[in-house]
Amino acid sequence: MDIRLDNEVAIITGGSRGIGAAAVKLFAECGSNVVFAYRSNADAAAAVVRSCPGGPGSDGRVIAVRADVSKMRDARKLIETATKRFGRIDTLVANAGIWPADPLPIERLSEREWDEMIDINLKGVYTVIHHAVPHMMERKRGRVIVVSSTAGQRGESFHTHYGASKGGLISFVKGLSTELAPHQILVNCVAPGWVDTDMCVPVLTGRREARRISAGIPLGRVGRPEEVAMPILFLASEMASYITGEVLNVNGGNVLCG
């Protein structure tokens, strides 16, 4: 059975690259209207739009919105763009996030670096959910899918602010899932491990380090963005209509969490 989201409306943050871009393309291929946010790279966002079946020259089913979701006003603009253009929201994929490739021991981790991580990775999920959920509650239907990380489950030394932000997302999902269940809004989380995205390029382009990382993954390789986008699509589909409050691990067996 193929997954189809014909005429549904999805909002995806961090949609100009990596997992977000793969999700935008996949949702569009499955018939969804997509509004995605990007923070700064307009050229990359335009390239994603062009690559989708609902891109330029069609019926405008894929729209890119410049928005820094760590700011409430930008998050509100993103949600309002979707509702004004398409009239509703079926799925929100909160994917935008950052990860610093360079190790940051706690004694060198600055307040600015801590605040930036929490603002984008954690607050940036709160802002879009805050503005999107009232529209879902009105319709008594919705899917919220948050992209966390295996680092949110096991922590990550020398990237402790990243692990803290992603761990906060998992707790946020657990609480929201029960809070929003009476409104028939399903809230779930996808926790990727190593994925071959531009965010990880500084580490994965080093041959020795890439081999070390792959050797620690039971499947013997890092994941592809599409391999995370597909589980996200599953959680947005009717195949997942009785799943809420869950963390779906997508990591090649690297971190086995119950």
In a domain? residue 152: yes
What is the rounded CA–CA span in Å between residue 238 and residue 5? 9
Global pTM? 0.93
What dihedral angle (degrees, nearest 10) is formed by the CA atoms of 36, 37, 38, 42? 60
CA angle 227, 230, 235 (to 5 degrees): 135
Strand, coil or helix: 133: helix
- Mean pLDDT for 103-122 is 96
Please report, for residues 141, 202, 213, 258, the alpha-carbon distance to residue 178 in angstroms, rounded to integers and kept in the order given: 14, 39, 36, 19
In a domain? residue 3: no
Per-residue pLDDT band at 55 (split at 50, 70, 90): low
Q: What does residue 178 show for φ and ψ, rounded to 5 degrees? A: -80, -35
C-alpha torsion sign, points 39, 36, 53, 194 = positive
What burial class does residue 216 get, using C-beta atoms within 10 Å of its C-beta: 0-12 exposed, 13-18 middle, 19+ buried?
middle
Per-residue pLDDT band at 68 (split at 50, 70, 90): very high
Per-residue pLDDT band at 195 (split at 50, 70, 90): confident
Look at the chain and report how many structural domains it folds into: 1
Structure confidence at residue 255 (pLDDT):
74
- Mean pLDDT for 243-247 is 98
Query: Is 99 a residue whose pLDDT tops 60?
Result: yes
What is the rounded CA–CA span in Å between residue 113 and residue 100? 10
Structure confidence at residue 215 (pLDDT):
73
Per annotation, catalytic residue among 38, 126, 162, 242: 162
In a domain? residue 257: no
C-alpha torsion sign, points 122, 22, 131, 62 = positive
Per-residue pLDDT band at 135 (split at 50, 70, 90): very high
In a domain? residue 255: no
User: Which of 60-69, 143-152, 247-256 is the least confident region?
Assistant: 247-256
Per-residue pLDDT band at 220 (split at 50, 70, 90): confident
Residue 97 sits in which domain range? 9-250
In a domain? residue 4: no
Residue 184's CATH number? 3.40.50.720
In a domain? residue 107: yes
Q: Name the β-bridge partners of 221.
A: none
Which is more confidently placed, 215 or 124? 124
Q: What percent of the chain has pLDDT over 70?
A: 91
Query: Is 120 a residue whose pLDDT tops 60?
Result: yes
In a domain? residue 227: yes
Query: Is 204 a residue whose pLDDT tops 90?
Result: no
Per-residue pLDDT band at 88 (split at 50, 70, 90): very high
Per-residue pLDDT band at 254 (split at 50, 70, 90): confident
Question: What is the CB-side half-sphere exposure of residue 117 using CA atoms within 13 A?
Answer: 21
Structure confidence at residue 74 (pLDDT):
98
Question: Is 38 a residue of the active site?
Answer: no
In a domain? residue 148: yes
Q: What is the DSSP string of 156-219?
A: -TT-HHHHHHHHHHHHHHHHHHHHHGGGTEEEEEEEE-SB-STTTHHHHTSHHHHHHHHHTSTT
Give me the amino acid identity at 198: D
Structure confidence at residue 59 (pLDDT):
67
